[in-house]
A and B are shown apart, each in its own frame.
Chain A
Amino acid sequence: MEILRVVDDLVCTRRAPGLGRSSLRVLESAEGVVSVATDPVGAPAGRWVFATTGTAARLAMGDPGAVTDLTICGLIDHWEAPA
Chain B
Amino acid sequence: MKIMRVEKTLVSTNRIDGFGHRPLLVVQDKVGGARSVAVDAVGCVPGDWVLCVGSSAARDAAGAKDFPSDLTIVGIIDDWPPEVG
Contact = CB atoms under 8 A, between A and B. Distances in A.
B36 A71 contact: no
B79 interface: no
A59 B34 CA distance: 25
A50 B12 contact: yes
A41 B14 contact: yes
Interface string B54-85: 01101100000011111100000000000000
Q: Which of B11, B13, B37, B67 has the most CB of A within 10 A?
A: B37
Interface residues of B, number: 26
Contact of A59 (B15, B18, B38): B18
A59 B26 contact: no
B14 A74 contact: yes
Given A41-B15, A74-B19, A76-B12, A1 B69 contact: yes
A69 to B, nearest CB: 10
A23 B41 CA distance: 30
A52 B70 contact: yes
B13 A77 contact: yes
Nearest to A30: B35
A52 B54 CA distance: 11
B81 to A, nearest CB: 25
Given A3-B26, A3-B36, A73-B19, A52 B69 contact: yes
A53 B56 CA distance: 11
A64 B70 CA distance: 15
